[in-house]
């Protein structure tokens, strides 16, 4: 019998960020996702720790999707010696062209800020990586379409280790990844989308695999039955009627497009008035164009696009962004970042957050430790630009707009794994979510699931 595949977890363990899993077969080593740790400071500090294996010893990287918690460490990996191919879908490659340089820019900003504030008195603070590192990492990307076989053995003279992407329905380009060696397969769910998403098509059904690695972000929660469009419309109508500003922090990729789509439809059916809508995220505008180029992955048609582009005023310059802070309500501002970790949205919150007529509308998962997580937990002040700012605006969290499958969704997707007798390992979830899902799998599917631990190894 040949050697097994050894699957080892080095991130997204007990948390939803820093996805990094190493798959080894004899002398070959593949990294599945290369994520940044985000959120609590102790998590972010892990980005500074040496990578668990020397980057130069990794033969190839496979990326499930473009979100930084799955890709944001790649520029550091390449700079530190990784020189193999990075396989991903075309949509992921295109989005990374926007996301990685932006990430490098934000990290450089953060280092400059730390230096100005003299946080670090003895050493010059250095960014985790720079825009130039990110640009270099992009050169390693090797786009491969969904549902085709990818040879991961190049350079080793054997063609017995392959990968295949299947649609995950989470954001543009998002994939589940199957790694197969001599007829045995380990299947990564990646971030799993929803069956009923307004934007993306449903995830592809799970095929038999010896080992299934499932995300568990919402493992302990169900999305409310409420229609996200109605919920969004209700808040927008209420706040704008009283002259307020609705600030919607949104990821530039996925969430911004879903919001524009819902708002366009709400306006079409007269559910919200003709209040001005501003999309203050140049990256979101670029990402919307990328979605338009891949109609096979989502449910937006040309009529929707036309209305989405007409609906909002696109804000690109910093000056125009600042002018929005003087304009006053009623209006809607969609701006990044989605969890308030940085970006232009912070300026809008600093300008409008202390007025109870206004509202901050959280539409996605808010990781604990981020400002978004703090707001979602009910805080009445936020630390922004080194100051504690009072938050008197209404804070609303729309659970119904998540781009992740909820616990029922994951269970439905996982069901075929039990008939196939797969082993199930859970990652990418806070401890409570992962364990709740483990229990449901045991009770409802009669199968055993293991919640992955840091450094834990599974042989396939
Ligand atoms: Zn994601």
* Residue-wise pLDDT tens digits, 176-205: 999 999 999 999 999 999 999 989 999 999
φ/ψ of residue 248, rounded to 5: -115, 100
Half-sphere exposure of 144 (CA within 13 A, CB side): 23
User: How far, in Å, from the CA of 67 to the mean position of ligand 1?
Assistant: 5
Tell me the CATH architecture of domain 228-401: 3-Layer(aba) Sandwich (3.40)
DSSP state of 194: -
User: How far, in Å, from the CA of 192 to the mean position of ligand 1?
Assistant: 8
Look at the pTM and tell me if it is higher than 0.75. Answer: yes
The neighbourhood of ligand 1, an ion, using CB within 5 A, equals: 67, 191
- Checking if the pLDDT of 257 tops 90, the result is yes
User: How far, in Å, from the CA of 404 to the mean position of ligand 1?
Assistant: 8
Q: What is the mean pLDDT of residues 294-300?
A: 93
On the 0-12 / 13-18 / 19+ scale of CB atoms within 10 A, 35 is buried
User: How far, in Å, from the CA of 170 to the mean position of ligand 1?
Assistant: 7
Tell me the Cα Rg of the chain. 22
**Would you say 135 and 97 are in contact if contact means Cβ atoms under 8 Å apart?**
no
User: How far, in Å, from the CA of 23 to the mean position of ligand 1?
Assistant: 21
Q: Which of these ranges, 36-50, 59-73, 179-193, 386-400, has the smallest mean pLDDT?
A: 36-50
User: How far, in Å, from the CA of 355 to the mean position of ligand 1?
Assistant: 32
From-to residues of CATH 3.60.15.10 in the chain: 6-221+403-459
User: How far, in Å, from the CA of 133 to the mean position of ligand 1?
Assistant: 22
pLDDT tens, residue by residue, 319-365: 999 999 999 999 999 999 899 988 899 999 999 999 999 999 999 88
- Checking if the pLDDT of 1 tops 70, the result is no
User: How far, in Å, from the CA of 71 to the mean position of ligand 1?
Assistant: 10
Query: What pLDDT does 280 receive?
Result: 96
Quick one: tokens of 260? 């524009």
The rounded Cα 167 to chain-centroid distance in angstroms is 15
Superfamily of domain 6-221+403-459, CATH level 4 = Ribonuclease Z/Hydroxyacylglutathione hydrolase-like (3.60.15.10)
User: How far, in Å, from the CA of 443 to the mean position of ligand 1?
Assistant: 28
Query: What pLDDT does 118 receive?
Result: 67
User: How far, in Å, from the CA of 254 to the mean position of ligand 1?
Assistant: 9
- Checking if the pLDDT of 117 tops 80, the result is no
């Amino acid at each position: 019998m040949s050697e097994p595949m050894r699957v080892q977890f080095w991130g997204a363990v007990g948390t939803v960020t820093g996805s990094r899993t190493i798959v080894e077969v004899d002398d070959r080593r593949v990294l599945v996702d290369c994520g940044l740790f985000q959120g609590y400071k102790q998590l972010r500090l892990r980005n500074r720790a040496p990578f668990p294996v020397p980057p130069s010893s990794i033969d190839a990287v496979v990326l499930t999707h473009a979100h930084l918690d799955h890709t944001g460490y790649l520029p550091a990996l390449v700079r530190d010696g990784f020189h193999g191919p990075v396989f991903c879908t075309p949509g992921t490659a295109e989005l990374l062209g926007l996301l990685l340089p932006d990430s490098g820019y934000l990290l450089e900003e953060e280092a400059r800020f730390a230096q100005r504030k003299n946080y670090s008195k003895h050493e010059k603070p250095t960014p985790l990586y720079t825009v130039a590192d990110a640009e270099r990492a992009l050169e390693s990307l090797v786009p491969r379409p969904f549902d085709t076989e990818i040879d991961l053995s190049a350079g080793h003279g054997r063609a017995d280790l392959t990968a295949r992407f299947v649609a995950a329905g989470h954001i543009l380009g998002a994939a589940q990844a199957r790694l197969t060696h001599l007829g045995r397969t380990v299947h990564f769910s990646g971030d799993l989308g929803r069956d009923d998403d307004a934007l993306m098509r449903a995830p592809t059904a799970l095929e038999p695999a010896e080992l299934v690695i499932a995300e568990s972000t919402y493992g302990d929660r169900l999305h409310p039955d409420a229609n996200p469009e109605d919920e969004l419309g209700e808040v927008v109508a209420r706040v704008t009627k009283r002259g307020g500003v609705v600030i919607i922090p949104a990821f530039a990729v996925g969430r911004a497009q879903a919001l524009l789509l819902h708002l366009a439809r709400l306006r079409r059916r007269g559910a919200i008035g003709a209040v001005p809508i501003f999309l203050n995220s140049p990256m979101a505008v670029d990402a919307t164009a990328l979605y338009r180029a891949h109609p096979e992955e989502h449910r937006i048609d040309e009529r929707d696009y036309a209305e989405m582009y007409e609906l909002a005023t696109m804000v690109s310059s910093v000056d125009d962004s600042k002018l929005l802070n003087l304009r006053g309500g009623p209006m809607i501002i969609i701006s990044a970042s989605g969890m308030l970790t940085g970006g232009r949205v912070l300026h809008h919150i600093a300008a409008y957050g202390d007025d109870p007529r206004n509202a901050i509308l959280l539409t996605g998962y808010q990781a604990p430790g981020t400002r978004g997580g703090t707001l979602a937990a009910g805080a009445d002040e936020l630390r922004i630009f080194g100051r504690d700012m009072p938050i008197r605006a209404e804070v609303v969290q729309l659970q119904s707009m998540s781009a992740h499958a909820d616990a029922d969704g994951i269970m439905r997707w996982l069901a075929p794994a039990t008939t196939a007798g797969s082993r199930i390992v859970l990652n990418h979830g806070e401890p409570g979510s992962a364990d709740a899902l483990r229990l449901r799998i045991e009770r409802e599917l009669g199968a055993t699931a293991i919640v992955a631990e840091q450094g834990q190894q599974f042989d396939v």
